[in-house]
Structure 1
């Protein structure tokens, strides 16, 4: 049986752009890695420096392309506002939530970049700059100059490896085991890589967790929540970091969605003639909410409590009788038609005599965000 489907393009857009904003902030980590390679370039072979630089740039370009794709789709879709269609006849809206899938993939890419790829780069760099640096470089130079030869089939298979980090480990395995087959070299290389990565995770775990805490604090997350997110004890260092990163990214996106919801509310209420200044917007950390107070010269007052995921309550008072409806209805219409915010639950509380200047109205609304 078909049913009505409400598609909130503005909500999708806010969710996607919040993820993109977070992803963009992580690209600077690759720039720092490039700086590390540049600082180490005098000790590395030119071929190694160039190979690592290309791999980092490729990773950065891949992430940037995904960010651009999600942003472009989200912005195009946002202009559609909110539509209601029949579930059996979605038509041009059939792929309305496709961009959310891209955004979810982007979140995974960000996590891999922050706490997997960067660690792999760091552990490889340590291997390349290790105690065997001089002898390794000499053998690799001899290979490049033709003084040493490598089995043609082994060389071909090594060059076919797409991941530059893995390729470098296999070349290092060849330096120590020049007569082994490719399969054997690959196994040796992966064992060395796994051990190096595991050690690097253990070495950097504390710093990674502190880095994540800083990111959460920058989004004004309260310390109790930060402690809850970052207090993970089970599993390996890699697993602990990945769990913390996953939870932190979700929390950061939630906060960005809430901030965007606050902007929307402020803009919409200002359009209704209310005055809102910076001092009227306050964070209630104890209850994990943002409070907005808006006033009219007439004395009319609107108060909002904005929670995570765009949910919020509001209260209009200072009106005679039900005169507040003249402000509430246009405000709600703006939220739904312009910004794609839908009323999910509504209760009304009337203080004292409803015909007097004591009307209070509460309404809970929900930004139709998509989790992931």
Structure 2
């Protein structure tokens, strides 16, 4: 076989392999999202574009309100979330997320600078003065303890003593979960946690899942605030967690659990909660709101669940977006006025000094103490 033919066949094989890899990625299921496990119908694709959760902790019980925004072509999907005790499930209020986002958004402030920068006159044209640039006992292996319909969701609340049996039960009931899930569920089974399994489906037949789903609210007893994250180890893409925590104090995570260090976006006391926030907190006032965000570039490195704890103090924090503006006086750059005034004063001072040192023109008078002029000979 000639060299050219071998090269052509090699290139063709590489191209076919790339096509096969690409097709495989198109139907690969998204095994996990930030909290819980998400698996679409076999042969379909579903990804969680955004996940936001509000956690309410009152010292005895916990409530998690979660909203998922998804993309894909799956008409049905399954989502499972472990919880430390029997959970009550209901639909959440969409307005809650807008409210906490508004409360924790950055404040806008203006900073003035004196000397001109790139883009200011005289370094740029067609720019108005003052414009600025922003900076930016034996039990069955699986026991169904409750099942109900909530809007588009089919919700099953389960207990399990065997993760493999849990996986098989879910499969028989339409929740097609990957075998790897049994391994990740075992720590929860050993701790006697329970599960909320949810079948996701669009409101109308023939539609596919997409966009923001209705929020779900899960309430359960717990001796400490926790946010389940272990199942996110199955995720195939980087994950982002956006978490709003409502408690009596400023809160933080006990560790990074294998992700980037969490960042605090807001911390502050809400003295008079109203609307959906008041409904969630039982209209108790005040309440402390902490907004946290964290990224997981490699979800396989997640080591467990997030445990939340009170911070060392309740110091408030709020981000700020700054707009830098050139300092002006009466619409004129302050630096230009200062430079002009300095130049005028310097010129006047130099003129005064020079004038004081120069004798008047045409004056024949000798300075005091000078010897008289000698007389000319007759």
Greater share of residues in helix: 1
Greater share of residues in strand: 2
Ranked by relative contact order (alpha carbons within 8 Å, sequence separation 6 or more), the top structure is: 2
> TM-score category by the smaller chain?
under 0.3
Per the normalisation by structure 1, the TM-score is 0.24
